[in-house]
Amino acid sequence: MRSVFPIKALAPGFPRECTAWYVAPLDQPGHGTRPSLPVSLYVTAGHCPLPHIVVSAGLLERTLLIARLVDPAPDLAIGARIDPRERRTFLSLASGPPAPGTRALIAGYAAGHLAEIIVTALDPSACPPGTLCFRSAVPIRGGLSGAPIVLLDTGEAAGMLVATPSDARGNEDPYTVLATPARTLLAALSLALGSPLSSASGPFATPQAR
């Protein structure tokens, strides 16, 4: 997992106080002019503080798309950055929502420290429109906004953590996770790239060497 999203909360030039993760290579044929260094797309929650557009010496660092709607979804942001990893790998995005009871892993930076939390998918009828819901046995901490939610049975990203809801009394429920679904992320990636992506996997799931 660490090879997929080495973008730590509070890291210079990346979303602050959140988690982000690399989702696709940008320096591929058909995606416009290829830069001299490898560039990858990252995703995070749209409500996170995002970096300004920076283009220096031909290097790319910019926010491509932001949606800051928390209820209803989507809540997402897509950016492009020079990706310094020697071996680039990217999560596949799931083609559909997980069945209730499906177990998944949230991996991100809670309060600046790497955290891994197992969650269970809830019935879609319990979720706000346009979101996925998961239940955690431990409270969700700040900094995990934007973290991928990876299905344990397939290794695909089912969605991205964006919020914890309020209970019937208006108090925050830190044990329930609201997520932007993978299909919404895929549609947003297609929009950011200016061309449709044929699937959620394909070249975006294949390790890419520098």
In angstroms, the Cα distances linking 193 to 33, 105, 150, 166, 197 are 12, 28, 24, 35, 9
Identity of residue 133: C
In angstroms, the Cα distances linking 181 to 12, 14, 160 are 28, 22, 7
What token pair was written down for 13? 């030039």
Q: Encode pLDDT of 179-189 as tens digits.
A: 999 999 988 88
Q: Encode pLDDT of 47-96 as tens digits.
A: 877 654 444 445 556 677 777 655 555 788 888 877 777 788 888 899 89
Q: Which domains does the chain show, CATH number per domain?
A: 21-91+184-209 (no CATH), 103-182 (2.40.10.10)
CA 16/CA 112 separation, integer angstroms: 10
Count of C-beta atoms within a 10 Å radius of residue 58: 9
Q: Encode pLDDT of 101-145 as tens digits.
A: 999 999 888 776 788 999 999 998 888 888 999 999 998 887 888
**Is the per-residue pLDDT at 23 higher than 50?**
yes
Residue 181 burial (CB < 10 Å; 0-12/13-18/19+)? buried
Nearest to 149 by CA among 125, 131, 167: 131
Identity of residue 36: S
